Amino acid sequence: MTTTQTVTAPTEKTPRRVPGESGMWFFVLFESLVFTSYFGVYLYYRAQHEAAFLRAQSHLDLWLGVLGTIALLTSSWSVARCVQTARVGRYRLALRDAALTAGFGAVFLTLKSIEWARQIHMGNTFTSGDFFQYYFFFTAIHCVHLLIGFVALGVLAYQLASPRRRSQEIVETCATYWHTVDFLWVLIFALLYVAR
């Protein structure tokens, strides 16, 4: 796609096309399968040791999980707006939305750090039993994905910052990655905090 081209938001009349690069969608589908297999193993063991998992799970603060989830959903909303504003050529607004995305991502990361610190302070670590082994594994691997998401947002902002670089396809690719980090958390949250 031409880097300086102003594109319109998709409507029912615009030709259908894959948002971003196709390769990113292969990654999205692959990562979803990898995480689904982790979640499947977790649910299998959880169902077999319900009492032990429930006891350990009661140490988590559901409100903190809800706040983190809403922060990440808000970041996804921001990056979705960023894609649309970039598409109609409003690049300053798109840059602001990218900054908001990073800001809400940072809020999520802060809440997660607070929760980790609280759990470790209470003596719940990676070796404290099956539930906390899964808890730290899922949340840590998700955080690695989130940190890569910040790099993707940096690439997105770099693209938007100069008229010589603007590529809508790269903006959409980076946003697709960020949304993937968001929906993986939606699943992790349901399984770790709510499942009984």
Partner 1 sequence: MGTTFNKRLLAVWLVLSAITVIYLWIDRSADDRGAPTASTVVTVSAITLALVKVRIIMREFMEVRHAPPLLCRLTDLWVVLMAAALLGMYFVGKAAA
- Region binding partner 1 by CB under 8 A among candidate stretches 18-26, 118-126, 143-151, 158-166: 18-26
Contact between 63 and partner 1 per CB under 8 A? yes
Contact between 69 and partner 1 per CB under 8 A? yes
CB 72 within 8 A of CB 187: no
User: From the CB of residue 132, how many other CB atoms can be counted at a distance below 10 Å?
Assistant: 21
CB 73 within 8 A of CB 100: no
- Contact pick of 3, 27, 45, 169 for partner 1 (by CB under 8 A): 45
Residues 6+ apart with CB under 8 A from 14: 8
Backbone angles phi, psi at 16, to 5 degrees: -75, 135
Residues 6+ apart with CB under 8 A from 5: 168
Contact between 168 and partner 1 per CB under 8 A? no
How far apart are alpha carbons 33 and 7 in whole angstroms? Answer: 33
Q: Which of residues 72-131 bind partner 1 (CB under 8 A)?
A: 73-74, 76-77, 79-81, 83-85, 88, 90
- Residues at the contact surface with partner 1, assessed by CB under 8 A: 8-11, 14, 16-19, 25, 29, 32-33, 36-37, 39-41, 43-51, 54, 57-58, 62-63, 66, 69-70, 73-74, 76-77, 79-81, 83-85, 88, 90, 172, 175-176, 179, 182-183, 186-187, 189-191, 193-196
